[in-house]
Amino acid sequence: MSDNNASVAFLLFEKPRHKQSSAAFDDGNNMGVHVVRDVLERAGVRVGYCTPETAKHFRVVLVSFTSKHDVIELYRRVSKRADWQRPRSFVAIGGGSGMQNPVAIRNLLDMAVFGRSEAFVAELVVSTLDAKPFEHPSVMHLPDVSDVEIAQAPCLYPNRIIGPDKRHIGGWSEASIGCKNKCMFCHYAFTRKTLAGNSWNDSGNTESTLLDLVNAGATRLRSSIKGQLVTALDGTSERLRCLFGKPIKAHHVTALIELLADAGVGHIVKLFNIGNFPTESKSDWDELRDCCLAANPRAHVRIAVQTTPFQPEPLTPMQWEAVRLFPNLKRMEQSPIARTGNVEVFHGRYVQGPMPQLSSALVARATPQTDAAFAALCMSSKLRAMGSEQGVRALLKSFDLSPVTREYEIGEQLPTWFLRSYTPTHKIERMAQRMRARPEYANSKG
């Protein structure tokens, strides 16, 4: 093996300028980085950390992408640097759950790794250090774009990770992978094989499905909830939720509010939600308000609804759907949804406006034709000085972004044509066809 003492480093953006970026991973939030580091160190490869400026002192630079905004952050930080242009003095390898489409940064990386890499990342890095070729179905050699499969973990990560910050990482152990629910918009569920039970009943943690909570009952809830209760609604009306694979009825929302009061855990609850879904209209939001108002809890219940705009995630049955940038969900931030007696339901903080939504879509549906728009999005100070709505309108006026925002026919080739997951493509297509054929979808499209 090569003398690889501190020849490998994770790229660290010391101070991410944008809060959506999670590339600063020294706080233990990005467990993927710590798993990869652990695998490499167990294989005898010492791993350091570098910045965009110090990357040139290493032979292999690993770049972690936990979200699409990390793709933007990398471009902002290194695309103008001479030492990051080809031919580079180091090999840049990107991976992580945010690695869905590397096209926008194909000149800044040499390899893109898709999915869970613990089974082959040590061989990949050692081969690279030894200047030997490495081929794997889940590795794309850039700048060429070729078919890849999302890699699966062979098992739950078996080792205890002792990281640089023991306070956060020392007690971590992987409890589950994947999700049995298969909501139609969920990239995670369609790209990660389920490896262990992950229901509330198994883990007893405070992040649970809303139906599990309702079914659990007040006594179980009272004894199990620690700290803030977090759950997900993922659709403002029964129609939207049932259409997109989350069978939460309106009466379940009412029941949850009353149950939280009975269990004495209604003081601080976060309810994740998705907005600007295909076919969504004001009447869907009215239903959410009405089912909150229908609740009559015995004690005060305070719920923050945290809405994120819908993204047509690759490899899901909703990947062919359109991106709806308006209405601007940011305008709802911290406003009330329902307020009466003991019920207080309101929009939370940090709701994404149309610009972060378009940014994510521009990464997810990047093609060489969107390079100029992507560069403007990342680098234009004029654009950044504009508000979210104004910036989006300026981008849409300057570039043809219809391939990024438009609805596709099911089966039509998408910008992410190169991705495959463990879920067969024909199954994903069939689910999408059934969804679009349902009257709740077709009739609402007018």
Classify 194 as helix, strand or coil.
Answer: coil
Of 186 and 303, which has the nearer Cβ to ligand SF4? 186
State which residue, 127 or 181, has the beta carbon closest to ligand SF4: 181
Sequence-distant (≥ 6) Cβ neighbours of residue 108 within 8 angstroms: 74, 75, 78, 79, 84, 92
Among 135, 24, 151, CA closest to 97 = 151
Which residues from 194-253 bind ligand SF4, rule CB under 6 A?
A: 209
**Closest C-alpha to 252, from 244, 263, 267, 241:** 241
Task: Write down the least CB distance from residue 186 to ligand SF4, Å.
Answer: 3
12 versus 186: smaller Cβ distance to ligand SF4: 186
Closest to ligand SF4 by CB, 246 vs 436, is 246
**Cα distance between residue 59 and residue 445, in whole Å:** 53
Q: How far is the CB of 179 from ligand SF4 (least distance, A)?
A: 3
Question: Of 413-442, which residues contact ligand SF4 (CB under 6 A)?
Answer: none
C-alpha to C-alpha distance for 90 and 84, rounded to whole angstroms: 9
At closest approach, how far in Å is the CB of 320 from ligand SF4?
Answer: 18
**CA–CA gap between residue 389 and residue 355 (Å, rounded):** 7
Convert residues 156-195 into a mask of x (bound to ligand SF4 by CB under 6 A) and - (unbound).
-----------------------x-xxx--x-xx------
Distance, in Å, from the CA atom of 438 to the CA atom of 240, rounded to the nearest integer, reads 11
Unique residue bearing structure tokens 């990770």:
161
SS3 191: helix
How far, CA to CA in Å, does 294 sit from each of 91, 249, 275? 59, 13, 22
Q: How many residues make contact with ligand SF4 (CB under 6 A)?
A: 8
Cβ proximity to ligand SF4, 188 vs 417, nearer residue: 188
Minimum CB–partner distance for residue 25 and ligand SF4 (Å): 22
Q: Which is nearer to ligand SF4, 124 or 183 (CB)?
A: 183
247 or 424, CB closer to ligand SF4? 247
Residue 128: CB minimum distance to ligand SF4, A: 33
Binding characters for ligand SF4, 337-366, by CB under 6 A (x = yes):
------------------------------
C-alpha dist (Å) from residue 222 to 43, 124, 210, 226, 329: 45, 48, 15, 9, 33
Distances (CA, A) of 339 to 60, 295, 296: 55, 11, 12
Nearer to ligand SF4, 189 or 358 (CB): 189
Whose CA is closest to 344, among 395, 304, 391, 284?
304
- Chain position carrying tokens 């005060």: 300
Q: Tell me how far, at minimum, the Cβ of 393 lies from ligand SF4, in Å.
A: 31
> 257, 265 in Cβ contact below 8 A?
no
Stretch (H or E) spanning 39: helix 31-42
CB of 100 to ligand SF4, least distance (A): 15
Nearer to ligand SF4, 18 or 182 (CB): 182
Token readout for 186 is 């969920």
CB of 305 to ligand SF4, least distance (A): 16
Around Cβ 389, how many Cβ atoms within 10 Å? 17
| CB nearer ligand SF4, residue 54 or residue 181 | 181
- Which residues of this protein are in contact with ligand SF4, per CB under 6 A? 179, 181-183, 186, 188-189, 209
